[in-house]
Amino acid sequence: MTARSRSLPCASLSGTPPPFPSSRGCPPPLSGHPLSPGTAPGLPEGAAGRLCGRCLLTAPHGGRVPPAPAAPRRLPRSSLPRRRLPARRPPAAQSRGMASQRCFANRFDDYQGAAAAGPDAEAAVPLVTATIERILRELPPLGSCQGGLYGGVAGVAYMLYHVAQCPLFAPSRDAYLRAARRVVDACLRHQERGGGEADTRAAFLLGGAGVYAVAALVYRALGLPDFARPLGKFRELSEVCAPLSFLECGSDELFVGRAGYLCAALVLKQRLGMEVLTPAQIKSICLAILESGKQYAVKKRKPFPLMYSYYGTEYLGAAHGLSSILQMLLSYYEYLQPADQELVWQSVDFLMDQEQNSNWPPELGETIERENELVHWCHGAPGIAYLFAKAYLVSKKPQYLDTCIRCGELTWQKGLLKKGPGICHGVAGSAYVFLLLYRLTGNSKYIYRAQRFAEFLFTEEFKAGSRALESVYSLYEGFSGTVCFLTDLLQPNQGR
């Protein structure tokens, strides 16, 4: 099946998720449990928010550049699979993007070299505030707390926490944090009652680990000593994800697997300023990820050292795929043995070699059909960009930055997505790539581009032509993630 004709899971725990007409390309999170109508990916500010894989992805080391490692060795070229040679140049950088069934035409002039105007906080703050009010109006009753950070109300608590950290919203800080606490307390009660599915206890984006992490952040921001309690619950989950195959569907990816758990620990460390896991716990989880990947690669006779699958599919992108797993291993680089570091670099270079005209197919071995390609955070260049940003920060090798820049060029052309305003497969997820590139390069072009994408979100063309949202409040598919992006755009140098 091609990427065009089938439905690709972003947040699905099930290989056969229930119908979810409003997000055909990316069905709902929990097996048999549609997303609660109402919350957003702000994560990857996350994953696109700061908590979200994205913020993380943006600056997993809190802006500090880790020491450069010894030069990694690459696999001999003869051991890599044959592939079509991609064009290693930005995709027609000066041209404007054409409309397709997946994206609007990008009719904005590209950056002309003048200094980009600073953020217009006077205009943007009321827009963000009004969007938050809309989200809060559309929250479901807090008895239902399924869906985790990705699509559940926990994502709204994260968004409120994220906005409350921004000085521009200081007058609303207390109100937002109190609202976040009400929501996250309900999520905690849901977890304590055993409301979460057993398989998602240690899940970052779809389950318990994400809920405990956000609770710790909100409590700490409110100055409550109680923040140690959810933090303790979070730590206990390291035992849950210790067994090599603790999930039948795949134990290593970002949404429910070990990479997500490590991602949450990284966010907690950055936001709380303290280590949450012991070095022994971190090493143990990294070793499990490595061993799992080695065993799978050997079993499937891959010509590269680390590979994973999720529900039997060998995804490459950020949502369930190789890129976010490798990104997390690079984020804990100092905990890896030199031989394992080398395996990670070989896998990063293998993934770089799978590029097809500045993009990657959702699954290993697929050929991209240009008219229908996925240019999403979940599947494609806008999510994989974060791996190469991290690889560049760790190694300082320019080819990784060049790859990241090509991802940004494609996103400028094809990132005005019709699937909504969100992070997972929407306009905010695209625009976060520009914030990432701005933080990497300091080039004002990227702020300009992020501002244009933000502007597009409020046009009649977008409102009339984008798909109706199933969940307005979702952190990854709805407006909570958009709010995180708009907040970060107001303080582009604050990204951590």
Q: Which residue ranges are tagged as binding site?
A: 378, 424-425
Q: What whole-number distance in Å separates Cα of residue 144 and Cα of residue 146?
A: 6
Which of 54/439 has CB closer to Zn ion?
54
Contact 74, 347 (CB under 8 A): no
Which of 102/201 has CB closer to Zn ion?
102
Q: How far is CA 273 from CA 65, 230, 344, 349, in A?
A: 17, 16, 27, 32
Residue 26 CB, nearest distance to Zn ion (Å)? Answer: 3
3-state secondary structure the chain: CCCCCCCCCCCCCCCCCCCCHHHCCCCCCECCECCCCCEECCCCCECCCCCCHHHHHHCCCCCCCCCCCCCCCCCCHHHCCCCCCCCCCCCCCCCCCCCCCCECCCCCCCCCCCCCCCCCHHHHHHHHHHHHHHHHHCCCCCCCCCCHHHHCCHHHHHHHHHHHCCHHHHHHHHHHHHHHHHHHHHHHHHHHCCCCCHHHCCCCCCCHHHHHHHHHHHHHHCCCHHHHHHHHHHHHHHHHCCCCCCCCCCCCCCCCCHHHHHHHHHHHHHHHCCCCCCHHHHHHHHHHHHHHHHHHHHHCCCCCCCCCCECCECECCCCCCHHHHHHHHHHCHHHCCHHHHHHHHHHHHHHHHCCECCECCCECCCCCCHHHCCCCCCCCHHHHHHHHHHHHHHHCCHHHHHHHHHHHHHHHHHCCECCCCCCCCCHHHHHHHHHHHHHHHCCHHHHHHHHHHHHHCCCHHHHHHCCCCCCCEEECCCHHHHHHHHHHHCCCCCCC
Which of 11/163 has CB closer to Zn ion?
11
Structure tokens at 465: 């032509």
In sequence order, the 6+-apart residues with CB closer than 8 A to the CB of 196 are 146, 148, 190, 207, 208, 211
Residue 17 CB, nearest distance to Zn ion (Å)? Answer: 12
16 in the Ramachandran plot: left (φ > 0), alpha (ψ -120 to 50) or beta? beta
Residue 478 CB, nearest distance to Zn ion (Å)? Answer: 12
Q: What whole-number distance in Å separates Cα of residue 425 and Cα of residue 440?
A: 23
Binding residues for Zn(2+): 378, 424-425
Residue 276 CB, nearest distance to Zn ion (Å)? Answer: 28
Contact residues toward Zn ion (CB under 5 A) are: 10, 26, 378, 424-425
Query: Nearest 5°: phi and psi at 456?
Result: -60, -30
Which of 26/231 has CB closer to Zn ion?
26
Which of 38/151 has CB closer to Zn ion?
151
